[in-house]
Amino acid sequence: MADDQTTAKESPLFADNELLELTITAPFTNMMRERSADEEAAATLSYRDVVDGEVVLDVGIRTRGRFRKQKDICTFTPLRINFKKGATKGTLFKKIDKVKLVTHCRDGSRRYSQSVLREYLAYRILNTMTDDSFRVRLLHVTYIDTNPKKRQREDFAFFIEPDDRLEKRLGLKVQDIPKTTISSLDGAHTNLVSVFQYLIGNTDFSPIKAPEGEPCCHNHVLLGTRNDSMLSIPYDFDMSGFVDAPHSAPNPRFRLRNVRIRLYRGRCMNNARLATTLQAYTDRKADIYTLLSGLTQLSDQTRRKVKRYIDDFYATIEDPKRVNARLQEKCI
């Protein structure tokens, strides 16, 4: 049963960071063949509750995404789960209407499985730095196919906090505008996020605009306002060097050799805040390494790689000459 002490603004699903075991039963073969963004398939989602035992929910499910929805990229796409109104009362999914599920992309790939964990860890690092970020919940999912062959697969995945739950938790509204300006954003939060994107080696984003025809912003959600400023909150880190997914490729705009090469995309107008921002990351250094060591599902090899990547970040921000050359002088 969902915790009755969970606040009215908080979903019990995202109030806990323990690994959640789920089973989802759906016509996955048909879904992965058709990849419809509009048609929902009937499915069931089940998990075990310490009080109520097995909890089974009837849900709708559909494929989602853009890049990872392409058949030559992922054989198993990200998913969106739609809960029936009123059906989640008293369950872990209380307060959840629809929720995004980040999946493993390709069956039987250890590297893709580890990439899911790495992307989850990236979200958790940002959560450690600021509450003004998307919460996530790590899962181990058994996928049961209702098609005749009934193929079963298991892998790691994670849920991303829905926009409406983020709105409730932060007391802000998603802004439906095509673009904005850096000066309209909260400077301290923007700087914190810019350094986070540098930490994870990500250049696939814009906090102020999106490709034509898409809502603002590119791999960011715009919320407002607080103290006359908006927040631009990032998501989708699979193209980062931190995640290093097999399908990732460097942004051709920047002529980087590979995704693991960092490029700072912070704003020059916020350079005066940089020392304070970097000190915040130094203050949370032990917490970030604790997150890494505590994610026991990572392989030893992956853990070593991620640790080296984080080590390199701290070697940079703790050296004034490197800060000047790699961050301050690279601002835009």
The predicted-structure confidence for 286-318, as pLDDT tens digits, reads as follows 999 999 999 999 999 999 999 999 999 999 999
> Contact 54/46 with Cβ under 8 angstroms?
yes
Q: Which tens digit of pLDDT belongs to each residue from 170-205?
A: 999 999 999 999 999 999 999 999 999 999 999 999
Residue 2's pLDDT is 44
Residue 150's pLDDT is 72
User: In this structure, what is the dihedral angle of CA atoms 158, 105, 166, 193, given to the nearest 10 degrees?
Assistant: 100
Residue 7's pLDDT is 56
Strand order in the sheet with 173-174: 173-174, 220-226, 229-234
Residue 22's pLDDT is 97
Q: In which residue ranges of the chain is pLDDT below 50?
A: 1-6
Please state the pTM of the whole predicted model.
0.95
Residue 98's pLDDT is 98
Query: Using the 8-state DSSP alphabet, how is residue 250 labeled?
Result: -
> Contact 117/156 with Cβ under 8 angstroms?
yes
